[in-house]
Structures are given as C-alpha cells and as structure tokens.
Amino acid sequence: MKKSMHFSLLLVLLILLSSACTVVNNTTVDEDSHGGFENPRSNELKSETDDYNMPEVRPESFNFHIQYGVNKRNEVNTFDHVIVKDLVMDGTASIEFYFSKEELDEIYEKFMKADVFSQKTFEVEMNCGMEPYEHYYLKVAIDENGETYTAEYEFTDQYCVLTEDGNKLKGIIQLINGMVRDTEEYQSLPPAEGGYD
C-alpha cells in the first residue's frame, strides 16, 4: 500500500514537471504561454542595423555605447560621456569621460574595418555552456544630413565560442576597454570587491 502511494506521488510529480519544461538539444527551455518554445538566447542576441556606408573620415557626430562583462555592468558611453565600472559586490561606479580625437579616430577606423553597419550573425551551436559568461552590447550611431544611422548588436560567449562577427566586435570592445582602463579617470574609481562564481 505504501509502495503504491509513493509510486503514485512520484508519477504525479513527474507529469507536473514534464508539463512545465521540455529538453531540446540537451538544453532545458521553458515553454512559452503559446505552447511554443522560447529560444533561450533570443533575448541575448541582437543584430539591427541601418544600410549605411561609413565615410573615410570620422564625422563629428560619431558616437558609440558599449556594455560588457557579466550582466553587462561595465559601460563606455560617448553619447553621455560616461564610463561605468562593475564593482561586483559593491554595485557600480561611474565618472565623466572623454576620448581624445586620436582615440576616437582609431576606434572609428576599427568599426569601419569591421563593417559595423552590415548585418551580423551571432547564433552558434549549443555545444557547451559557461556560467558566469560575458555579455556584450554595442550601439554605433552617426548623424548625417538630418538622418541618424545606427547599428545595434547584443551577443554572449555563453556557449564557449563566438562567430567571426562576434569575435571582431568583441575585439573592438576589448580595445576600447583597454584604452579606458589606462586612464586617470578609470584608475580613480574604487576597486571591485568579490567576484562572479
């Protein structure tokens, strides 16, 4: 009698669990309210861009905004002239920041070589997973003749590898991060406390 009751309870629990989630390609994903399956990366991958050919010489209206790191808590934003540092357990710290003309020219050239205003691909096979993982956001904007042209991307290295497009943009983000880290402004920010497991 007790064995039968235990078996019945286990069966009910298994039915409830299997209706809540389903395993697809060894990755557990929640069913959405429409009965379909939500891509576990759909909210982490973004590729939107206007059709635009960047001029050879950097326009004064050129701006960019990057976020990177675990939970995208590090930030460099030339629209608002601010950098944000992830302090992990202590939140974030920010400071006003301006790049030199030479630094902006170098960054602009990197974006131009990466053809930042062309559509990018970030989808990769889910052959492994990392926790925590780096998350990248990038927006580039140029105003020209009364029009604003933008390219906006979001991607992660959660699945251990990046596409060629992802690697190129990550390289530019790392270059910008390196420029910022070497400045007095960044060095004046408090140190990070703790880490991500």
pLDDT tens for 33-47 read 223 323 344 346 788
Contact 93, 189 (CB under 8 A): yes
- Residue found by looking up tokens 């009965």 in the block: 35
Helix (H, G, I), strand (E, B) or coil at 194: coil
Does pTM surpass 0.85? Answer: no
Q: Which of 67, 104, 102 is closest to 86 using CA atoms?
A: 67
Residues 26 and 60 in one domain: no
List alpha helices for the chain, DSSP H. Answer: 2-20, 101-113, 164-181, 184-187
What are the pLDDT digits (tens) for 6-39?
A: 444 444 433 433 333 322 222 222 223 223 323 3
Residues 33 and 50 in one domain: no
Residue-range definition of the domain harbouring residue 25:
1-40
DSSP state of 33: T
Residues 34 and 102 in one domain: no
DSSP state of 71: G
